[in-house]
Amino acid sequence: MKTILRSDELSCPSCIGKIEKALKALPGVIEAKVHFNSGRIDVEHDTTQVNAERLQEAVRNVGYGTRISAF
């Protein structure tokens, strides 16, 4: 499944690495890609191992607000 998150708190390119690393560390995450300019975070994951709420929690745990997006 692909979940799209959004964060309006990305202030520097190093944010990308922090968020991608945190998401990829979760069991069930196949790929995580952060788009700095738009704040879009694309996450491909296995829903039997991780859900959207857990993805959001991982992003918040490294210091960035996030929400589920439909764009």
Instruction: Quote the CA–CA distance of 67 and 51 in Å, as a whole number.
Output: 13
Q: What pLDDT is stored for residue 13 in this prediction?
A: 85
Domain containing residue 25: CATH number? 3.30.70.100
Report pLDDT for 71.
53
Segments of the chain assigned E as strands: 2-6, 29-35, 40-45, 67-68
pLDDT for position 12? 86
Domain that holds residue 46: 2-68
Give me the phi and psi of 15, to 5 degrees please.
-60, -40
- In terms of C-beta density within 10 A (0-12 exposed, 13-18 middle, 19 or more buried), how is residue 52 classed? middle
pLDDT of residue 11: 87
Residue 53 above 90 pLDDT? Answer: yes
Count up the domains in the chain and report the number: 1
pLDDT at 49 over 70: yes
Percent of the chain whose pLDDT exceeds 70: 97
Q: Is 46 helix (H, G, I), strand (E, B) or coil?
A: coil
pTM of the model: 0.93
